[in-house]
Chain A
Amino acid sequence: MKELEYPFDSKFIMKKKKSLKRRLEEECAPVMKKRIAVLGGSTTADIVTVLGLFLRNYGIEAEFYECEYNQYRQEALFPSQELLDFKPELVYLHTSLRNLTFRPAPSMSAQEISEGLETEIAGYVQMWDSLKANFGCPVIQNNFELPSIRLLGNSSGSDPRGLVNYVGRLDLRLAEEINARSGVYLCDINYLSAVCGLDEWSDPQYWYLYKYSLNTGFIPDLCFEVAKIIKAVCGRNKKVLALDLDNTLWGGIVGDDGAENLTIGQETAEAMAYYQWQEYVKSLKDIGVLLTVCSKNEEENALAGLEHPEGALKPADFTLIKANWEPKSENLINTAKELDLLPEAMVLADDNPAEREIVRGSGFAAPDMDNVGDYIRVIDRSGYFETVSLSADDLKRNEMYAENVKRKQAQASFADYNDYLLSLEMKGEIKPFVPMYVQRLAQLAGKSNQFNLTTRRFTVTEMEERMNSSGYITLYGKLEDKFGDNGVVSEVIGRIEGSVLHMELWLMSCRVLKRGMEYAMLDELVKNAANAGITEIVGYYYPTAKNKMVAQFYGELGFDKQSENENGDTVWKLALCDYKENRNKAIKVNSEG
């Protein structure tokens, strides 16, 4: 919904939150539900309401638990029965400068202040640990906004007894502790309050009158940040930035003006703006965003523009280039298909309002981009690619997709598909979960929708429990071939009950579809199950809007269908004594060297 996308009108959202809620419920069907506990050190009523709007706009229907006023610490350390019964799947600790338990004063020694700071930090660490132990769910933690009042004036920033100096140190220490653990995410209100304007953000009237820690006019700004983090944790980030060319990546029309006359580089104000924007787009690759071109152009002209010596982006920076005269929505759909991604993973950056309107109608995100000076901010602040954990796989994603495009080209030159698979020289590593991959495994389980039999999401803690328990058989699968390493691409979790193994999870990344990896996983699963004394494996398929491709998966693996209920849930069984021969022929598994 346009009203909830950056740049939004905060005051409008506050005023119209009732009608926005009604319209969202009518227009947007949620794709997932989340139980979210908001534990505040100040009033949170409207924060919960507005956060619900932004989440709903991301397809997440939130059920909220709101703690009593300022009971965040008690609830985090000693959860009430109500909170325990609620079983939150995510906790947001909404604290602020108002909740400091210690403040530096001019009479204090540096030592005293450092001790006070460490005690404060320890209090937060305790809360996260307690929440993790009780709920094992992700926690979003505010840091502290700067004070708008400075007793020591400018020295407040340099003198350890100054509050500005203290808050700076406090935020750094908090960040260190957040980085040192998994499952805690920073909501940077220090940054946000600066962006909004600290004087207005901290207007004390809202505290005196209503006990809000911030100006209520900025509640949408705060909630937008929190919602971005939540949707990223839930695996609902965008993955591809598709870019128009003329007047989007450079000034001018390459087909009319010629590549040499485009506005890009260091010579004029506008040229610099386009150059910086290209640099920003290029840097998105570093966090794993895939870049593609989606432009109405002759391909030859598009490439000539991208080869412009003054430009920061080069043709090789793009995973795919679609420069033709087809409708953009079709090009976007085809791009998604070729990358094995869902259309909802795409964002279009385009200066043409008419094009944006059309692709929005087909369900793609396409933010308003009307002035090159604003392009970077619009894409950056929209948070399409909000980073919550930068895994090694994220850093390599661009390479992996480029390799996939090469594989597709190689495939075209083979008449027999098996010959093609053998030519890939695939090597698999399929082993029980290990701590090194737990983060990635939880991330993968959080965002895999298509090749996913149960679509069950697991927190890092739940993953760790299954890894460490003898009541489960877990396997991760890594796949490498002559074009490159795909990383961890598949995982299965089975719960042991007597001599039967019940499959809680079976998923695979779509980037290794049709490579035979599922057979290799099955072979290893059967081997590990047999070693554990299992005689029978029971598989479950729960249909969702997105996982139709695996409806018959267990049948294809040789399982027999046992039952099907009115929802389409099916149960399948495989007796291990019937499993005589390995199914995988193309992948070398767990070979030395």
Chain B
Amino acid sequence: MLLLKQTMTRLTDVFRDVFDDDSLNITPNTTADDIEDWDSIEHITLIGAVEEEFGMKFKMGEVSGMNNVGDMLKIVMERGK
């Protein structure tokens, strides 16, 4: 199990890379509506980048079932490296 704080930092870095915005901050409550460029196409990039960063793979149901950053965080903390 990964630690919350470190995971959040790494996750923030991934978001900043994908959305090319170094000032971007996320919280567990952040959703696609909060980030302008977070559309269905960038969602695919984001999933790929998070998988790469944490050396894990989301299951199909998880990809379609995530509602906010918190959902993603939970899975990553459990299964990420």
Contact = CB atoms under 8 A, between A and B. Distances in A.
B67 interface: no
Given A205-B60, A208-B60, A15 B45 contact: yes
Interface in A213-239: 216-217
A317 interface: no
Interface string B8-50: 0000001001111000000000000000010001001100110
Contact of B14 (A15, A22, A212, A216): A15
Contact of B48 (A19, A22, A217): A217
A125 B37 CA distance: 40
A62 B11 CA distance: 33
B49 to A, nearest CB: 4
A436 to B, nearest CB: 47
> Which of B20, B37, B41 has the largest number of chain A CB atoms within 10 A?
B20
A19 B14 CA distance: 13
Contact of B18 (A15, A208, A209, A217): A15
Contacts of B44: 46, 209-210, 212, 216
18 contacts: A11-B48, A14-B45, A14-B48, A14-B49, A15-B17, A15-B49, A15-B52, A17-B45, A18-B19, A22-B20, A45-B41, A46-B41, A209-B44, A209-B63, A212-B44, A216-B44, A216-B45, A217-B48
B45 A11 contact: no
B60 A11 contact: no
Contacts of A11: 48-49, 52
A16 interface: yes
B6 interface: no
A16 B60 contact: no
Nearest to B57: A205
Given A11-B48, A46-B45, A209 B20 contact: no
A261 to B, nearest CB: 46
B18 A18 contact: yes
Nearest to A205: B60
A68 to B, nearest CB: 15
Interface of B: 14, 17-20, 37, 41, 44-45, 48-49, 52, 60, 63-64
Contacts of A216: 44-45, 48
Interface class of chain B by DSSP: helix
Nearest to B37: A18
A208 B59 CA distance: 12
Contacts of B14: 15
B63 A15 contact: no
Interface in A187-224: 205, 208-210, 212, 216-217
Contacts of B45: 14-15, 17, 46, 216
Nearest to A16: B17
Q: Is the interface of A mostly helix, strand, loop or mixed?
A: helix
A210 B60 CA distance: 11
Contacts of A205: 60
Nearest to B50: A15
B71 to A, nearest CB: 16
A574 B17 CA distance: 60
B17 A19 contact: yes
Nearest to A204: B60
A581 B45 CA distance: 68
A506 to B, nearest CB: 46
A209 B43 CA distance: 11
B41 to A, nearest CB: 5
A208 B63 CA distance: 11
A206 to B, nearest CB: 8
A539 B57 CA distance: 63
Nearest to B39: A45
A46 B43 CA distance: 11
Nearest to B58: A205
For B14, B17, B45, B60, which residue has the most chain A Cβ atoms within 10 angstroms?
Answer: B45
B63 A19 contact: no
Contacts of B52: 11, 15, 217
A207 to B, nearest CB: 11
A18 to B, nearest CB: 4
B56 to A, nearest CB: 13
A14 B45 CA distance: 7
Interface in A1-47: 11, 14-19, 22, 45-46
B64 A209 contact: yes
A70 B52 CA distance: 29
A19 B20 contact: yes
A51 B52 CA distance: 21
A46 B52 CA distance: 17
A83 B52 CA distance: 37
B22 to A, nearest CB: 10
Contacts of B18: 15-16, 18
Contacts of A17: 45
Given A15-B18, A15-B45, A16-B20, 19 more contacts: A14-B48, A14-B49, A15-B14, A15-B17, A15-B52, A16-B17, A17-B45, A18-B20, A18-B37, A19-B17, A19-B20, A22-B20, A45-B41, A46-B44, A46-B45, A205-B60, A209-B60, A217-B48, A217-B52
Contacts of B60: 205, 208-209
Interface string A435-477: 0000000000000000000000000000000000000000000
Contact of A15 (B37, B41, B48, B64): B48
Nearest to B21: A18
Contacts of B48: 11, 14-15, 216-217
B64 to A, nearest CB: 7
A212 B49 CA distance: 17
A159 B26 CA distance: 55
A16 B41 CA distance: 14
